[in-house]
Amino acid sequence: MGTLPQLIEEDIQCLDAAQRELLEKSEATTALVIDKGGFLISSYGDARQFDLTTIAALASGAFLANETIANLVHETNFTSVYQQGERFSMFVLCVDEHCLLVVIFKAHVSVGVVKYFALPAGEKIAEQMRSAQERDPGTGLDLSVLNLADTAELFKRKS
């Protein structure tokens, strides 16, 4: 798994703005930006009724499993997954080599509308991630190597 760029407040504000615009235009419920390793980076919308941490992990796994199947059948242009439900549906879009955009929406909302507005939101998110990477190209985070059982090395008090 590659590294994510170091994100600052300006980056998160841009991610939030892209997600907010997506939700307003598509009438979706919740949007998440996640690492392909399944870690939640940013979310916007109604988070009260969903376990976003678990959804991030499972959506990443579902996307990567489908991407692997696509590769096995020699499909080279695989960029999204759609899961249809009775109450809520989910659309997952590949943003860049590190991130996915997950959109949760009520089942009566058209997936076509969600996809139409998710594509430009994904482009804005990808552009902000590129800007963050260019700001400090030598640094980044590989979230997959974090030991979440022992966060002592991650969260230290400044001396």
Tens digits of pLDDT across the chain (159 residues): 456 788 889 999 999 999 999 999 999 999 999 999 999 999 999 988 899 999 999 999 999 999 999 999 999 889 999 999 999 999 999 999 889 999 999 999 999 999 999 999 999 999 999 999 898 776 665 555 555 555 455 545 555
Q: Is residue 91 part of a domain?
A: yes
In which domain, by residue range, is 71 found? 9-145
Predicted structure pTM score:
0.85
Q: Is residue 2 part of a domain?
A: no
Give the pLDDT confidence score for residue 1 in this predicted structure: 41
We report the CATH number of the domain holding residue 64 as 3.30.450.30
H helix intervals, the chain: 9-26, 52-72, 111-135
The Cα–Cα gap between 109 and 79 comes to 21
Q: Is residue 26 part of a domain?
A: yes
Q: Is residue 100 part of a domain?
A: yes
Give the pLDDT confidence score for residue 54 in this predicted structure: 95
Q: Is residue 140 part of a domain?
A: yes
The Cα–Cα gap between 59 and 73 comes to 21
Q: Is residue 14 part of a domain?
A: yes
Distances from the Cα of 59 to the Cαs of 6, 93, 115, in angstroms?
A: 23, 10, 16
H helix intervals, 31-150: 52-72, 111-135
Q: Is residue 153 part of a domain?
A: no
Q: Which residue has the tokens 């963050």?
A: 132
State how many domains the chain has.
1
* Nearest residue to 88 (alpha-carbon basis) of 69, 102, 67: 102
Q: Is residue 40 part of a domain?
A: yes
